[in-house]
Amino acid sequence: MLTKANKRELTEVLLASKKKYRPAKKILAEANIKDYNAIIKKSLENPIKFWEEAARDLVWFKPWRKVFDSSHKPFYKWFIGGKCNLAYNALDKHIGTKIEKKLAIIWEDETGRSRKLTYWELYQEVNKLVNALKKQGIRKGDRVAIYMPNIPEIAVAMLSCAKIGAMHSVVFAGFSAKALADRINDARAKILFTADGSFRRGKIINYKEFVDEAIKECRTIKKVIVVKNNKNKVKFNKRKDIWYHDFVKGMPTEAKCAQMDAEDPAFVLYTSGTTSKPKGVVHVHGGYMVGVLRTIKWVFDLHGDERFWCTADPGWITGHSYIIYGPLLAGVTTVMYEGVPDMPKPDRIWKIVEKYKVNVFYTAPTLIRAMMKYGAKWPKMHKMPSLRILGTVGEPINPEAWEWYYKYVGKKRCPIMDTWWQTETGSNMITPLPCATLKPGSAGKPFPGIKAEVVDKKGKPVPIGKGGYLVIINQWPSMIRTIFNNPKRYIKTYWQEIKGAYFTGDVAFKDRDGYFWIQGRTDDVLKVAGHRIGTAEVESAFVSHKSVVEAGAIGVPDPIKGEVIKAFVILKQGVKGSDALKLELRKCVRKEIGPIAVIKDIEFVDKLPKTRSGKIMRRVLKAKELGLPLGDTSSLV
Ligand code: WTA
C-alpha cells in the first residue's frame, strides 16, 4: 500500500512526467540512434555482446580472449588478454588518416589568448614529452601527478603518461597545497607537472607557490616540470624544477607506444568519500576507452566533424572523459577554456560558442544557474547556430534551469542530455540520447548495456515513484577497478551496502516510463558547485585548527552552487567564539582543502547530535537547519 508520502511523491512524478519534449525532426533524422527504447531493449538482451561490439570501434594490438570475467568479483575484468593503449587510440591511430590535419584542441584563455593544435601537432608534442619522461626514468606503472590549469599541456601530459603506461594522477588546481601533498603521497608520484600560473577573474593564481609548499612534504617527487603559461615570476629550485620547454627541448617527435594489457591501470583520480581520506579511483586502458567512446558518440550524437566543448576542468572525471579522452578517441575537436564564464562580460561562454562554432556544449547546472542570474539578454545576443546538442552533468538540474537552457541557449532546437554518472563509473550511465523524449529534471533511462535500479536497504526494487537507493546491477567496461592501494575500501564502499549490486551513494526514483529522477546523495558527500567534497574532509580541516575540538559539516541548499557548507563547531574550553575566529577557521579550511570548499556559515555550539557509537548525526543537524522533520532519532543520545 502507498503511504501518504509515497502518494505525494507519485503525484509529483506524474505531474513532472507530463512535461515532455519530443526530439525535433531534424535531430531525429540525423541521429545515429533513432529509437531510444528499442536500442536499450536490444542491448539488454546481451549486454556483454553489446560492449564487445562497442570495443570493435577501437584499435587493439591483440584481440581479447574473453570479454568479461567475474571469477574474482567484485574485481571484474573486461577484454581479457587484449592488448591496447588509451593514448594510441586517442592520438596515434589518427595519424596517417585525414583526421591528422584536423584540429584536436582549440584553446582560449580569459585574456583572449588562443592556441590551436592539429592532431599531428598534438601527436608530436606528446611524443617529445614521452621521450623526455622516459629519459627521466619514468616507466610503465609509475605515477605522475599533474596540477595544472586548463591548458593544452595538461592534455599533452596526460596522453604522454598513458602512452608510456605510467598512471597520471590529475589533481584539480582548486585544491590546496595540503590536499595536493596528500594525493601525491598516496600515489607516491615521481614527477609533478604544474604551471607558473593562470589568470582567473583578471588575477594571477600562482600555482607554483602551492606546489613549492606541497612538495616540502612529498619525498617521492624527483622533478617538478613547470609550464610557462603567463610569465608569472616564480621561485625556481634549480635541483628540482625544470621548465617544460627545456624539458622537451630537442626531443625526438616520434616515440614508441607501450602495449598495455586491457586491465593495466591507465590513471588514478582522487575523489571524496565518507571518510576524510580521498579515494584513488583506478581506471584501466581497455574498458575505459570503450565506455568513453561509445557514450560520447551516442549521447552527443557525434558524426566525426564536431567541435565539442565541455566546460569542466580536466582535474575532474568529466574533464578526463569528455574534454580529453572522449573527443580525441572520437577524432573530433575539443575546446578548452581557461578562465571564468563571466569575464569580461556575462556572455563570454556564448561568445566562445559562436566564435569557434561549437556543436556540442556540455556543462554543469551550477554554470547554467549562474548565467540565469545575469538574465536571458546575454545568450539572446548570440544566435549560436552551430549548436546541436547540449549536455549537463554533476548534480541534479532543476526544471527551471533546464527550461532556461533549452530556450535561451539551445533556442528550442537542441536537446539536452542530462547525464548521470560518477568518477567511479568512468562514463555516462543514465542519460537520454538525442532521439529520446526529454523530461526536464530527469536523467532519462540507463544507457544501453547498463541495468540500474532503485532499491530498498535489502536490495528489493521499490515501487514506481518511491525514493530509494540507486544501484547498478550489472557490470560495465569503464567501471572503477579498485581504490589505489586499498582494495578493502573498494569492496566496502561499493559492494557491501546492497548485496549483489554496485552502490552509487545516490537516492533516486523511477517514473512510469522508466525514467530516473536523481535526488542527491544518501551519504555524507556534498556537491558544491558540482565539486564533490566529503563532509568528513571539511570536519577534519576544522579540527586541524588549535581552537577546535569537534565539528559537524552539512550541505545546505544554495540557489546557484546547488549546495554550500554549514559547519557546527565545538571550541576548546576557554576559547571564545568570535567573528575573527570564524574568519580564521575559514582560512584554515581553505588551506587544508582549497577554495572549492565554500563555507556559507559557521555556528559555534556546545554539543553535536550523536549516535551511541559516537557518530555525528549530520542528518539531524541538517533537518534542524532546514526546519524539516527530524525523522528516526532512536539512535540519538
Ligand atoms: C552527482 C561527476 C544528478 C551524483 C560526473 C553522483 C548527478 C555524483 C548527475 C558524482 C546528474 C552527477 N544528475 N546528479 N546528471 N551527474 N551527479 O564523481 O550525486 O564528481 O553520485 O562525477 O554527482 O560526482 P563525480
Residues 437-464: what's their mean pLDDT? 97
Taking only the tens place, the pLDDT of each residue in 114-160 is 999 999 999 999 999 999 999 999 999 999 999 999 999 999 999 99
Taking only the tens place, the pLDDT of each residue in 174-219 is 999 999 999 999 999 999 999 999 999 989 999 999 999 999 999 9
Ligand 1 proximity of 395 Cβ (cutoff 6 Å): yes
Inter-axis angle of helices 535-543 and 579-592, nearest 10: 120
Tell me the one-letter amino acid at 414. Answer: C
Domains along the chain with CATH numbers: 529-626 (3.30.300.30)
- Tell which atom from ligand 1 comes closest to the C-alpha of 525: 19
Pocket mutation for ligand 1, best pick of 281, 532, 561, 596 (most atoms within 8 Å of C-beta):
532
Ligand 1 proximity of 443 Cβ (cutoff 6 Å): yes
Q: How far is the CA of 431 from the centre of ligand 1 (A)?
A: 12
Ligand 1 proximity of 518 Cβ (cutoff 6 Å): yes
- Tell which atom from ligand 1 comes closest to the C-alpha of 418: 15
pLDDT range class, residue 2, cuts 50, 70, 90: very low
Ligand 1 proximity of 393 Cβ (cutoff 6 Å): yes
Q: How far is the CA of 318 from the centre of ligand 1 (A)?
A: 10
pLDDT range class, residue 466, cuts 50, 70, 90: very high
Q: How far is the CA of 230 from the centre of ligand 1 (A)?
A: 33
Strand stretches in 298-345, DSSP E: 307-310, 333-338
Is-contact 167 199, C-beta < 8 A?
no
Ligand 1 proximity of 323 Cβ (cutoff 6 Å): no
pTM greater than 0.75: yes
Is-contact 215 232, C-beta < 8 A?
no
- Tell which atom from ligand 1 comes closest to the C-alpha of 527: 23
Ligand 1 proximity of 442 Cβ (cutoff 6 Å): no
Taking only the tens place, the pLDDT of each residue in 533-579 is 999 999 999 999 999 999 999 999 999 999 999 999 999 999 999 99
Is-contact 304 276, C-beta < 8 A?
no
The whole-angstrom separation of Cα 572 and Cα 558 is 30
Q: How far is the CA of 92 from the centre of ligand 1 (A)?
A: 32
Residues 312-326: what's their mean pLDDT? 98
